Structure 1
């Protein structure tokens, strides 16, 4: 008769008594063994088996959040586009494309974006034989984002203009859907859009440039599509390019130039082309200082053989976030370039690029907010705590609803800027609209960026501990959002830019802003639910006009609060108008009401508290520097 050894561990629980049988060993016959197994099965069927016994890790796993069609679930986006795009165009061209793209975003692009966040770019400085090559390596998902951008026409839609002035709005709606899922590929897309605009504007004066680059920048064929960099920042850094640009351009006999300089912050280093600023070296070997010395240059990053165009990648930046974007310090050592502006007109020539990159920044902010709120909303239907799912707790829903109001306001502000830009693209924008766009561009960028930081942070909190776990992909949203108030001008720099826009038009731009707001809210007065919100917005606009006229001497000190006041009041007008023109949907009315309950005019509030007085300025200084260790610098 066959005999064999049986070993097993059993943890049995019965009537509160725990019995652990470790390595139970017995020599038995096959028949006896079978009886033993049957007996154990009977015991196990009668007794509770502890869930964490042996290799078991428990029976509960938190359900991950899921997103539906990112376009279909966005009521504000759909309603705005329906209001402003003719029905036949919207139904036949825009909506089907956005519906399909909204599905692609959450079914394919989201995973590629996550891969970009994990497989970060790096540089191979030397080949195996010691030759310097500075080969930038990016992951397959990053390259796939390039192809998707071309296929979806995220640049070409705006420049083919198949639907005229609505083309820009269509394009920016896709940017809005794409940005927060794209693994930060929205960054090179923004710079490519700016480059395409520069090339288009210079087509008459530099026809060779359009022939060479425009078709590539606006192609829907992945193999033909080029992206562009924007290499402006140098070691002295920041927005002060007039005093910070040290790169020089040496004229060559063939009409080209050789650039020598150090670009300290060059985003999207894997771009095909770039635009950059430099100072032309005169026959006397001298350059002109300040803004008057800066000219704009077109550079192709690689030579025909694929090698870099006399460019050395010194290092990739080790950033807080946006690590997916290869941002480098570059040495330009004889880089071949072509001047594409009148000498000394470089800054003026990049104004359109700055406008576009700032609007893209605003859309990235709105996109980040929309993604985190939509994800948190879905999670609230899945996560249980204290006996119920989160959506059943009114406090949790109230918190997310407040975030939703912020997202809707940001979405309307950015879409309105895109609508005006589309009219400017095709030459139909009125002087009124052009001035309004000039004002809205810095306002939209600065205000939505600060909103994004707040909303994304609060949004992560709504996930509890999971919002802090890298594997979920959620913490990256907050890290990446931190760059939004910094890229393309900090909040203070753009607040002062708003002041310049007002001064350049001698106050007319502010009057246009006021009149535009009054026009938007007039129709709401007859609707009881919106009358209070409309009245609040109108009064706020008048208060701001009065402040600017009576306190022009403190506008520099008040610039930040003034910009916030302009932004909040304008968003209030947009929300009120949207509620009326979208059919008085109760949620649109509620969003407008909630927005207008906040302090729309912090500049008035803080003026009443004497925050802008000379005494307050002195106290601010003392508060900050009283115990500063290096008093010799004061």
Structure 2
């Protein structure tokens, strides 16, 4: 018999058994807005199925187990033979199987392929973020491989396959494959031109022997990696398989796994290439950065999307908790100050989602030949990567606080989200790298700024605070002397103005008005929960709140 002192009261039920896609109004509406008419129904149905799985208790348990049992490095077998393998918990493989099966490595076929895949990535990241790293790199390797058509013909069907087949063996024997990336070296970091890994041509055309070290190589059990190395003609991109076509293991020496703050389920490693490591050239010698930049651009969108997903899950947990927890005479969600906090968090989450989906639609447009969309991506993507990933950590921290001490306990899942939250601001270039990339776009590609101004101009006249913010951006752009020192401020403004324009055009009036007041008009405070008195916080909270059942 349970003791009266241990009766559980005033605790929320688990947030399980809900549709992560269908109960995210900003996400579902955005997909309907941008999807090709002949594919909208099919995309929504597929995302609904994925969303219901993502919101199930079973899938949440997979994510918990994959993080509770992190990967283990095995450099040698019991007899002393070098094997260089990483063992994962079965939950990791289950998560990857579902992700690949849902087409999250395949955005390159079918109408609105990028939009469908980005929305699915946003949904499935809310289950567990670590395993989406190899999913992201596999997806992004496809455009880079187009620089070498012979390699692309072999690898693209495997990388875009919906079949997940773990294990190291020749890709000719597999129905699907995963790809990773190795650019960073200890002496260079983001300055990849400082890389010292050497590539010496072999007798086989296009084949090289690599010697060097990579400081960060994620998902080392992938089937192949895109890496940068110094060839005789300069820095060059290569495809390095784990298993060679004749079935022998390539020389891919795993030195150690990184002990990371978050992303615990994913193996990030240091690797050595010992001079017998074989790789195939992708693109021309000396064009390594230009070749791999397509991969970087695609993974940058995933950084935006992944941060939007982490924010959304944190806000959903906070809203659910507040709806079922009572304090001071009533449900937390009805307390005016708590409701202001929740509404403010929901605004940031919706703005991030709206921007991620607009970028995905721009990818689809650019793939269809639109120069305007291509130019928009050139400026808006690094700006979004800078700003959305920067907002993720404070959003998650505030959402955790909404759960009080419960949120600080591992079982709530909030600490895992908090540890994950800074990752995307670092991966694929930290904040300064993104800010400098925006400056390059402004200085070298006038079409990028024109596309951005055209996009935000579609909302001109709808809100005076947005109009004033656009004018402020133009004023700042008119004086680019010494701009590098204030680049972060400029990039932040570019991102917030674009978010405001999207919300003014597409979001309910309560959301758009509150965002423009608090983020553009200076009527809100610096902390979350400081929306101005006229904001319709009840409507914002109701729109964002997930409901079980």
- TM normalised by structure 1 equals 0.77
* Cα shift readout 1:342-377 (whole Å, capped 9, x = no counterpart): 110010001111110100000000001111111111
Cα drift, residue 308 of structure 1: 4.0
> 1:178 and 2:124 equivalent?
yes
Count of residues in correspondence between the two structures: 509
* Inter-partner Cα distance in structure 2 for 1:58 and 1:178: 35
* Inter-partner Cα distance in structure 2 for 1:77 and 1:61: 31
Q: Summarize the alignment of residues 93-112 of structure 1 with structure 2, pairs less than 5 Å apart.
A: 93-107=42-56, 108-112=58-62
* Cα shift readout 1:15-64 (whole Å, capped 9, x = no counterpart): xxxxxxxxxxxxxxxxxxxxxxxxxxxxxxxxxx9735xxxx44548344
* Cα shift readout 1:480-501 (whole Å, capped 9, x = no counterpart): 1111211111111110110001
Q: Summarize the alignment of residues 84-483 of structure 1 with structure 2, pairs less than 5 Å apart.
A: 84-91=34-41, 93-107=42-56, 108-156=58-106, 158-161=107-110, 163=111, 166-199=112-145, 201-202=146-147, 206-223=148-165, 224-243=175-194, 245-255=195-205, 256-280=207-231, 282=232, 293-303=234-244, 308-333=249-274, 334-427=276-369, 429=370, 431-483=371-423
**Unaligned segments of structure 1, at least 5 residues:** 1-48, 283-287, 526-530, 580-587, 603-634
Cα drift, residue 336 of structure 1: 0.6
**Unaligned segments of structure 2, at least 5 residues:** 166-174, 523-549
Cα drift, residue 75 of structure 1: 0.8
> Structure 2 vs 1, CA of residues 123 and 50 (structure 1 numbering), >3 Å: closer, same or farther?
closer
Q: Summarize the alignment of residues 590-629 of structure 1 with structure 2, pairs less than 5 Å apart.
A: 590-600=510-520
Q: Summarize the alignment of residues 514-529 of structure 1 with structure 2, pairs less than 5 Å apart.
A: 514-518=453-457, 520-522=458-460, 525=461
Residues 150 and 225, structure 1, Cα contact 8 Å, conserved in 2: no
Which residue number in structure 2 is paired with residue 51 of structure 1? 4
* Inter-partner Cα distance in structure 2 for 1:307 and 1:192: 22
* Cα shift readout 1:286-344 (whole Å, capped 9, x = no counterpart): xx6xxxx2011011113468764111110000111112110000011121101111110
Cα drift, residue 139 of structure 1: 1.0
The CA RMSD over aligned residues, in Å, is: 2.0
Residues 99 and 124, structure 2, Cα contact 8 Å, conserved in 1: no
* Inter-partner Cα distance in structure 1 for 2:33 and 2:380: 20
* Inter-partner Cα distance in structure 1 for 2:292 and 2:409: 41
Which residue number in structure 1 is paired with residue 546 of structure 2? none
Which residue number in structure 2 is paired with residue 608 of structure 1? none
Residues 569 and 601, structure 1, Cα contact 8 Å, conserved in 2: no
Which residue number in structure 2 is paired with residue 21 of structure 1? none
* Inter-partner Cα distance in structure 1 for 2:184 and 2:435: 20
> Structure 2 vs 1, CA of residues 253 and 538 (structure 1 numbering), >3 Å: closer, same or farther?
same
Cα drift, residue 542 of structure 1: 2.2
> Structure 2 vs 1, CA of residues 420 and 50 (structure 1 numbering), >3 Å: closer, same or farther?
closer
* Inter-partner Cα distance in structure 1 for 2:59 and 2:201: 45
* Inter-partner Cα distance in structure 1 for 2:442 and 2:344: 32
* Inter-partner Cα distance in structure 2 for 1:543 and 1:511: 16
- TM normalised by structure 2 equals 0.89
Residues 180 and 218, structure 2, Cα contact 8 Å, conserved in 1: yes
* Inter-partner Cα distance in structure 2 for 1:544 and 1:183: 34
Which residue number in structure 1 is paired with residue 541 of structure 2? none
* Inter-partner Cα distance in structure 2 for 1:250 and 1:490: 31
